[in-house]
Amino acid sequence: MNIAIISGSARPERQSHQVALEVQQRITILGIENWLWDIKETNLPLLDYTFDVHPNPGDTLKQLKVKLDQTDAFVIVSPEHNGSYPGALKNTMDYFYKEYVHKVFAMVTVSNGVLGGINALKNLQHYALKINGIVSPEFVITPQVQNLFKDGVLTDEKYGHRIDVLLKHFLELAEAVKLIQNK
């Protein structure tokens, strides 16, 4: 099993990235192969061609293609921007399509407010379905993310437990889907 954790914000001082790193750490502790797809670090230009029809995809896209082909499932960690997920996240993911088909997606959304990114969550679930992904019914919304970490360390164990529950159910579903696909 190989899991991609997508850190979905390109903004400076992004709070959601701490959550993505926490998710990655917990998956690593479980002994599961994973990689962090950091939208900010990837820094793809505005979409002109998808990978499949790109006349000259370049090394970054070629390397992403290889990683995505080896990925079995995704955890998207995204802030809520103006009632949805960030445009940079959609722009980056839209370079690919078939690499997501029939793969399981879990969502963790983040906000500084009290709703925890619920609107971003709804939109991400719809997006994952549109790209023929399988949406895990478990999700985590993260209200007031600014209060959860101190110096990059999670200080709220109840929140950590919620992530663990999400990962348990997500990984069970991803394993089941992979087993069916390998028959």
Low-confidence ranges of the chain (pLDDT < 50): none
Q: How far is CA 48 from the centre of its chain?
A: 23
CATH code of the domain covering residue 110: 3.40.50.360
Strands of the chain (E only): list them. Answer: 2-7, 33-38, 73-79, 104-110, 134-142, 149-150, 153-154
Residue type, 36: L
83 in the Ramachandran plot: left (φ > 0), alpha (ψ -120 to 50) or beta?
left
36 close to 115: Cβ distance less than 8 angstroms: no
For residue 126, give its domain range.
Answer: 2-181
Question: How many domains is the chain partitioned into structurally?
Answer: 1
- Residue 183, pLDDT score: 82
Q: Cα separation of 8 and 145, whole Å?
A: 15
Do 75 and 6 touch, CB atoms closer than 8 A? yes
Is residue 40 within 8 Å of 14, Cβ to Cβ?
yes
